[in-house]
A = this chain, B = another copy of it.
């Protein structure tokens, strides 16, 4: 743990089959008006919406709704939510859905009382948050992003063709999150796989940095092994509670900052995917799946020992019998195999990108990286290899 860090995560997690039973006691901590934010109606089909409305009514709350949040939540939806918060003096924003809905809720929370243009100030110029924050609570229905226990909020500005994300300070984290793995049973298999790979990617973005011997890396290896193991079980039987609960918790712990402590981190796969997503509106995890293998094949030489360790400790490959090069590539091959088994795409073509888009995507991607600094040229190389 060579790099100094501050760790503070005040989100309260209620996990398990009985998690929703804690909602009434949480509601007591907030005023009368609740903004309920959700997606395109799957929470209505599953019956969860009715349960929540019932609890809100019993708690004598005035409920306002913002629905139809897209899988890449848009800046306009966020502004609409901010308007609703201001006009109705909302006391609590309750997000019901996956990471998109929770990200949008945090964006609304930040923007409602922002002095100036929130997009410019917070998503582009990364200014310090200096306005009132409206508390957010979440009820998670899809595992993957980790948004339920962190300050991340990724918003797509459709007009500007930009998908920007940022990690806000702990005041912006959900105050509480309700995680019942059973709510994820109704997620279609492709979305489940996309969420699993999103989590996998978060863990790898944190893992692939540094040459030091850090406790955090050992923890990441453990979480990765559990995630891979439970992913295979869930693919066979999506209603295996144990597998789905492990996957849900891997997603939360995989991006609640604990698996990134004292790490430099990479995040360039996410930077590239954000722009792929802005151009194709693909599922986030699917976009990550497409980029990851070509990206790691491009950069592994710069972090060779870590890629060998990945092959050995995560995939149990007999690296002693291989050259470093072989071992590193064999680990990345296992990653490719995992993506295929998940049924996720492996080319940009499959998710609707055209060859003409590649230069624009490369040009608009935030540069950076872990073992290797990725210039526009490097990014374009990876995009072509992903095509």
Contacts and interface: CB of A to CB of B under 8 A. Distances in A.
Contacts of A297: none
Interface string A248-290: 1110010000100110000000000000000000000000000
B5 A262 contact: no
Given A1-B15, A4-B18, A12-B8, A215 B223 contact: yes
A33 interface: no
Contacts of A353: none
A242 B6 CA distance: 17
A120 to B, nearest CB: 29
A6 B12 contact: yes
Contacts of A6: 12-15, 22
Contacts of A223: 215, 218-219, 222
Interface string A208-232: 0000111111111111011101100
Contacts of A221: 222
Contact of A17 (B4, B18, B227): B4
A241 interface: yes
Interface residues of A, number: 49
Contacts of A7: 12-13, 15
Copies of chain A in the complex: 2
Contacts of A250: 215
A201 B321 CA distance: 35
Nearest to A19: B4
Given A1-B249, A13-B6, A218 B213 contact: no
A100 interface: no
A223 B216 CA distance: 8
A331 to B, nearest CB: 17
Contacts of A13: 5-8
A319 to B, nearest CB: 13
Contacts of A241: 2
A219 B222 CA distance: 5
Interface in A1-51: 1-19, 22
6 contacts: A1-B245, A3-B16, A8-B13, A213-B242, A222-B223, A253-B258
